Chains A and B, each alone.
Chain A
């Protein structure tokens, strides 16, 4: 078993000396030279010289006649033979060793020509069919259900399988969205669960967990330390639902005997590390001491409640009355509320947070609500101390750059209330929205028909035909007798609606059943759906459907206005997250275990969330705030929270904890996406030493949209090759270069990755590589990691430019490869918007979009509007 780091080392060396590789006459990221090679003058003579002897006669070897193989990329059979040719060339299998060999330049020309042609052909064939009838993705399905029903359950869709990714990386590709019996069964089950959460039957459930206002009274003792300091020690306090009534008492039972009774406490209140002191009827919270600003790892927080009786489902409400004491120059503290269980394992999630600006003289009440199903809940069973539902209140603020910059701000929690299940109104809004109160004089049939029709219209995102409605009413009638109430029985047809293809699929049918035209313009309802699933990743709202109903959405001015409105809506973050995850593969950093032997102080558990959010926030900032798309390459700002600013050692972060735009210092290399932690980490799947090839491919594919051809089949991974580890570095490199299979492509790939070498897997700058050695310690073998060779991040690019480091790469892209980059942004966004792979016929549109960007200062909204108003988006 070879360990993966060897791969990185070998490749590194190979790439650090690109000058020794074969001469280069094509630049994959530039794309220009390749397509100009002419088959008749540039390729056929080569084939004739080296191949036709065996593959140009009757009974050709391997049944392959190259002299008759046409360079027609629209012929799939021909393409499949060309794929074979490409692979054989890359492997160095053909021409055979004893035959005449093409020189390196000729070989490169052949490989380039075949690869380019094959890539284009395959792309166009895969997308031949245009937009297909596409199913909602897992995320779209969950978002749509929540919006339709007005519920907040976050885990509705979690049992559905993940979707396959297209070549572009997107999961909304209609071709690839398959439906299995498992899906159908899950759809029924999930719809039932969602409807049960939205529609209630019977009376309001009794409140089972209530920590009433005024119960916050703390007891403490004063302990005198050895050095004479006095310290308050808080007692753990059991809270009772009626604090003024006795906790224990005797009662006389039926038989006249005296019985001891004890009131069951409703919660245990604890004051932990960060609680500074006790004020009149309240607790003063400073930040938990000893908190690592990056990891936040420590105890459950300064003030927490352990509730012993609580429901496992339903909504809850927390009300906190608090104010802050903010010394001069100090930042405003943020009050954060968490709910969960188990103090040690940190099974908890954030309920909400609010930055406090009011002083303790001006106490304010802050209200948070949530759904218990969205939080980690203790296991049912006997609840003991510390195993119940725990609600934590704590205070957060950024770390001062240096000690003594300012005194700590504190929060006074004066009062506190917790109620579950909590209903602001009964029945809840989700219920009345779907089922408004039934007037007594309206017959049941009429009422139900109205309800079902309204729901169907929303769910199907279009007007409903009479036959469709009749069918659902028949379903209602046939199941009505099983249920005692309209509310219960109506869930049957509503479940059917949510399992119907008209809800589950974005269908754009033809209205007349005659011959199917090749293309037609979308009607306004179909346009509303496309728009909504593009910019919100969820179902259209009432406004969009209204405009569609009035036939006004197709109007270009209205359409542009709607795009603006939608991008300003919080739901646009669904789009930002989905698009960013899939474009930049951000979410995959969750799958990477950073090896602690290499990165001792990295915390796998808490830091990744910040690194993902950083990318979402940055891309969101550009796309939603209409910034320049060139900011993706390099920017003079980042969107950071205080922990990330600390991580990047960027001073001058304003004194808040949340994400915000931060202007970078002049000499910073951190602008743009490339030097964020997530992209640097996602290209290091081993979690150990970085990989030049992975980073190069990521840059070429994700950023520039010019992926290198896939490795030919049967090429072993480097780590499987029998390279003796003890060989000197130089010889290992030579071993690699002797493999023509690798050299042909890698001379065009590796340079891009070398430029990233001064960043390690967790995105920090470095000057030395890692190295491993086996250390013997008392007879035991142990792996030890140490800092080895010095980093060299200089490389010669395929066009001969010699540059060093990522900063230079960013400049290079902006100066020389801007159009390629813009085309990639345009095509990625277009592919995502259309839910399909792009084909050759889309190239003019992509060019046009890139030009639109260039004409409009590269502003993101210009691109989005151009996509939405394009013919491709507006027709089927």
Chain B
């Protein structure tokens, strides 16, 4: 078998979906002692599959608000988000520049990565993992990757929206009990010993290779020494990560009240399941177990989550077919029902986030919540709705509807992948600019997002 428990602890974590790198001991006390002054910054990204409701000239079925700028009125679909209108920004006509001609079933693969996969499937790091690499060492888990399906899925049908630095998918967790145990249950003494053994062994190996390196170094020319130093520095950095991991081993996990959590719920009961996953997300952020969470509510070409419209809303069609609507009677209504249900899940989560006090505001004020889809209707990679909520205490200026004006005499270009629609190349804005603005609040740069430059200035406080 490939896997073996005595791999490094990091590998173990990766294997079960809590990703990479290891926590940074010194700074892990935020949630505990309450003495630290500023609450930490967090990010949560939630993906919804199979497009969103974006009909032409049917405002009653449109996810987008009417109006623009600071003066906008939420659509019926987003009515449940009413209380947070001042805390959100909605982006219309935003999408990934290099994916506009792609088949929309690749939407989830590139939602957070913005990778150019037109020619071949070359993934790059997703914004959450990029952030986790920068701030992840400060918490027990650098990031928490969730999805309703779990695992990694395949290309074009990914079951995670997070991709590591090398572009490989980070496996997602989908079992609520498992997530809970990982975050809050004390490890058994055997598990602790096993982890300690893994750490000791890893350290002894690194010690040995470092000693060999020193021997070798004495016999190298100056130039070669510089090359070997690069290697030795890397080994020391890995040692440091192991040290941090070891310190976490002996720190008790946070205690939370689990009485209103139903951990045995399955995706067959969508409403309870999605709410539980979001509740766990809330707890993970609140206890500062991690500061970066992603949740893919459903995958394109998934199993159970594709049936959510049937199992949750009593519709006749699954998510794929609801998204592939025509103009028949009742089809837009069905899509709206499904869309409204999804927004209500978000609203419930936001209520929790907004009610939790944190520093001089709420947890929502210190967290960015990105709720978005990789495609519009029907299955287009253009005009993809994304809503960014919260984060007002960490650098965002909220309460705006971004609705770029159509260009005066655009010819409109037909979507190559989807012959049903055209898009206006002058109007369509790069979504990566929004991402870069978000990361800017964390002082993280994203030079690899090359399809655009600059930030969205109105969004940055």
Contacts and interface: CB of A to CB of B under 8 A. Distances in A.
Interface of A: 1, 129, 132-135, 159-161, 174, 178-185, 188-189, 192-193, 196, 313, 373, 379, 467-468, 471-472, 474-475, 478-479, 482, 492-493, 495-496, 499-502, 504-505, 507, 509-511, 513, 516, 590-593, 597, 685, 687, 774, 780-783
Contact of A783 (B6, B219, B230, B414): B414
B222 interface: yes
B411 A189 contact: no
B223 A129 contact: yes
Interface stretch (B66-74, B231-239, B377-385): B231-239
A501 B209 contact: yes
A629 to B, nearest CB: 32
B173 to A, nearest CB: 16
B228 A501 contact: yes
B241 interface: yes
B11 to A, nearest CB: 5
Interface stretch (B37-45, B197-205, B281-289): B197-205
B208 A471 contact: yes
A504 B231 contact: yes
Interface residues on B, range: 35 or more
B219 A511 contact: yes
A133 B205 contact: no
Nearest to A508: B224
A766 to B, nearest CB: 23
B150 to A, nearest CB: 10
22 contacts: A134-B227, A181-B241, A184-B234, A192-B6, A192-B7, A379-B151, A471-B208, A471-B212, A475-B205, A479-B201, A482-B201, A492-B205, A493-B208, A496-B208, A501-B212, A501-B231, A504-B231, A505-B228, A507-B216, A593-B120, A781-B413, A781-B422
Shortest 4 CB-CB distances between A and B: which pairs? Answer: A509-B219, A133-B224, A181-B237, A591-B119
Given A482-B201, A590-B120, A593-B119, A507 B212 contact: no
Nearest to B428: A1
Contact of A185 (B4, B10, B224): B10
B205 A516 contact: no
Nearest to B224: A133
A170 B334 CA distance: 56
B181 interface: no
B8 A159 contact: no
A510 B2 contact: no
A496 B205 contact: yes
B13 to A, nearest CB: 12
Contacts of B223: 129, 132-133
A309 B192 CA distance: 35
Given A591-B120, A783-B413, 4 more contacts: A181-B234, A313-B2, A475-B205, A513-B218
B216 A501 contact: yes
Contact of B2 (A193, A502, A774): A193
Interface of B: 1-2, 4, 6-8, 10-11, 118-120, 122, 151, 165-166, 168, 197, 200-202, 204-206, 208-209, 211-213, 215-216, 218-224, 227-228, 230-231, 234-235, 237-238, 241, 411-414, 416, 419, 422, 425
Contact of B411 (A184, A493, A590, A781): A781
A590 B221 CA distance: 41
A507 B224 CA distance: 9
B234 A1 contact: no
B425 A1 contact: yes
A623 to B, nearest CB: 28
Contacts of A379: 151
A179 B219 contact: no
A135 B230 CA distance: 11
Contact of B215 (A134, A181, A468): A468
Contacts of A510: 219-221
B176 to A, nearest CB: 19
A456 to B, nearest CB: 10
Contacts of B216: 501-502, 507, 509
A807 B201 CA distance: 64
A314 B75 CA distance: 56
Nearest to B151: A379
A133 B211 CA distance: 18
Contact of A495 (B11, B205, B218): B205
B169 to A, nearest CB: 11
Given A184-B238, A193-B2, A501-B212, A179 B222 contact: no
Contacts of B222: 516
Given A182-B165, A501-B213, A781-B412, A509 B220 contact: yes
Nearest to B122: A591
Nearest to B229: A179
Q: Which of B165, B212, B235 has the most CB of A within 10 A?
A: B212
Contacts of A192: 4, 6-7
B195 to A, nearest CB: 13
Contacts of A178: 230
A510 B221 CA distance: 8
A501 B228 CA distance: 8
A695 B216 CA distance: 46
Nearest to A3: B413
Contacts of B237: 181, 184
A179 B231 contact: yes
A516 B166 contact: no
B209 A500 contact: yes
Given A1-B425, A513-B219, A188 B119 contact: no
A180 B218 contact: no
A189 B11 contact: yes
A369 B11 CA distance: 30
Contacts of B416: 597, 783
Q: Which of A159, A182, A474, A783 has the most CB of B within 10 A?
A: A182
A478 B220 contact: no
Contacts of B1: 196, 313
A196 B4 CA distance: 8
Contact of A499 (B10, B209, B422): B209
Contacts of B122: 591
Nearest to A182: B165
Contacts of A181: 234, 237-238, 241
Contacts of B7: 188-189, 192
A516 B241 contact: no
A502 B212 contact: yes
A185 B8 contact: yes
A492 B213 contact: no
A499 B239 CA distance: 14
Contacts of A500: 208-209, 212-213
Contact of B205 (A159, A499, A783): A499
Contacts of B238: 181, 184-185
Contact of B234 (A159, A183, A474): A183
A475 B228 contact: no
A829 B414 CA distance: 48
A479 B204 contact: yes
A329 B266 CA distance: 63
Contacts of A504: 231
Nearest to A475: B208
A798 B175 CA distance: 69
Contacts of B425: 1
Contacts of B419: 780, 782
B134 to A, nearest CB: 14
Contacts of B230: 178-179
A658 to B, nearest CB: 27
A592 B122 CA distance: 12
A474 B211 CA distance: 12
A765 B226 CA distance: 52
A597 B1 CA distance: 46
Contacts of A133: 220, 223-224, 227-228
Contact of A471 (B8, B119, B197, B211): B211
Nearest to A153: B2
Given A184-B235, A189-B7, A501-B231, A781 B414 contact: yes
Contacts of B10: 185
